[in-house]
Amino acid sequence: MWYVIFVRAGHESHEKELIEKIVPPALLQRCVLLRREVMRGRSGVWSKQEEVLLPGYLLALSDDPVKLHEALRDVPGLTKLLGGNGTTFAPLQKTEASFVEMLTADENEVMAMSEGIIEGDAVIVHHGPLKGYEALVRKVDRHKRVAFIEFEMFGRHVVAKTGLEIVRKFPGQPGRESDTAVR
Same domain, yes or no: 68 and 123: no
Residues 38 and 176: their CA atoms lie apart, in Å, by 21
Direct distance between the N- and C-terminal alpha carbons of the chain, in angstroms, rounded to an integer: 32
What's the structural domain count of the chain? 2
Residues 136 and 114: their CA atoms lie apart, in Å, by 13
Question: What's the pLDDT score for residue 150?
Answer: 92
Number of alpha helices (DSSP H) and beta strands (DSSP E) in the chain: 3, 13
Helix (H, G, I), strand (E, B) or coil at 67: helix
> Global pTM?
0.77
Domain encompassing residue 144: 113-183
From the list 56, 71, 37, 45, the residue with the least C-alpha distance to 161 is 37
pLDDT tens for 69-90 read 888 888 887 666 766 555 457 7
Residues whose CB falls within 8 Å of the CB of residue 85, separated by 6 or more in sequence, listed in order? none
Choose one of 112, 145, 171: the last residue of a domain.
112
Same domain, yes or no: 127 and 168: yes
Same domain, yes or no: 101 and 119: no
pLDDT tens for 19-69 read 999 999 999 999 989 899 988 888 888 889 999 998 988 888 999 988 988
Contact 131, 147 (CB under 8 A): no
Instruction: Tell me the average pLDDT across 106-113.
Output: 82
Same domain, yes or no: 18 and 99: yes
Residues 8 and 132: their CA atoms lie apart, in Å, by 32
